[in-house]
Structure 1
């Protein structure tokens, strides 16, 4: 009995410890839903982990997506790639895309191997971004929140297998 109680305590501690601090602060009882590795041609780019309250996906905020980079990338390229992917989703308001690109370029730093960029949809209106656990910017725009996370989570994503791994809890 004591061993099973100790084992349960250790498992609970491990699950709580695995959640990044900003996620634990922003989500009620956060838990991992799934994870996936994004590879572009032959290059591993980042590992992604999706979190939500109680690990339940409801397709509405709050939720968090953590990207752990496996290579060095310029923040400006990350912002541009995000815009390209939002366009692929069907969003075509050129004025808003330019505003969003500018905001992301200001927010996203250059990343190096093992750096983490974390996006938290804290509400339908607000997205917060963290770099290695430190708040680096906030975007208060419901359309941005919806379209930004659609890059990975929409049924229309350019990477449906990646999405499936994030949402189903299937490891790569």
Structure 2
């Protein structure tokens, strides 16, 4: 009887195996495409880590962090050029993404009302509405700020270092609201 219950317990995994293998193949193909797409931005891009972010059981996006250096120090990420890609798994309005981003930046350390309003306006003007499967790419430029792309096409930039550090800190700062996501994005970092 015990053997039978073990078999029944494993049945969902066995039935899901082809789907899991297909997901893994798709993930490898997406990584290869991202490597080619990111070469102009990073030279020789290296995947540092990735994670599927879910919120209250709903898939939100698949995040991947890429660096240009062979070594990537997680505690010194703000001094390195990097790219964060978010492949959305559901539809979102750009204004909602912008508002959530400001709330997350506020959670790291309080923003002044003026700073919050200015950054919100900047983000709302450049973040597009996204549909499931579309990609928003953020390029962190430690010397000048951040650039943003949607589906590989430039949508704008914000040339302010404090903004760029706080924005990328949503995912990479020790003060992030999502420590598991941060841990997975930094999984391939150098010690």
Contact 1:125–1:140 (8 Å) recurs in 2: yes
**CA–CA distance in structure 1, aligned partners of residues 96 and 82 of structure 2:** 24
Match of 2:54 in 1: 39
Instruction: Work out the number of aligned pairs and report it.
Output: 156
List runs of 5+ in structure 2 lacking aligned partners.
1-29
Structure 1 residue 124, shift from structure 2 partner? 3.5
Tell which deviates more after alignment, 146-155 or 58-67: 58-67
Q: Which residue of the other structure, out of 102, 117, 124, is the alignment partner of 2:121?
A: 102
Structure 1 residue 78, shift from structure 2 partner? 0.1
Which structure has the larger Rg over C-alpha atoms?
2
Structure 1 residue 26, shift from structure 2 partner? 1.9
Aligned-partner SS, 1:129: strand
**CA–CA distance in structure 1, aligned partners of residues 183 and 134 of structure 2:** 24
What are the equivalent positions in structure 2 for 1:22-171 lying under 5 Å apart?
23-58=38-73, 59=77, 60-169=79-188
**CA–CA distance in structure 2, aligned partners of residues 32 and 125 of structure 1:** 23
RMSD: 1.8
Match of 2:35 in 1: 19
Aligned-partner SS, 1:155: coil
**CA–CA distance in structure 2, aligned partners of residues 44 and 50 of structure 1:** 18
C-alpha deviations, 1:28-67, integer Å up to 9, x for none?
Answer: 3111000001111011000000000145323123000000
**TM-score, L = length of structure 1:** 0.85
**CA–CA distance in structure 1, aligned partners of residues 143 and 178 of structure 2:** 23
**CA–CA distance in structure 2, aligned partners of residues 46 and 161 of structure 1:** 14
C-alpha deviations, 1:57-104, integer Å up to 9, x for none?
Answer: 231230000000000000000000000000100132221111110010
Task: Classify 1:15/1:86 alpha carbon distance in 2 versus 1 (closer, same or farther; 3 Å).
Answer: closer
Structure 1 residue 141, shift from structure 2 partner? 0.1
Aligned-partner SS, 1:168: coil
**TM-score, L = length of structure 2:** 0.77
List runs of 5+ in structure 1 lacking aligned partners.
1-13
Task: Classify 1:117/1:55 alpha carbon distance in 2 versus 1 (closer, same or farther; 3 Å).
Answer: farther
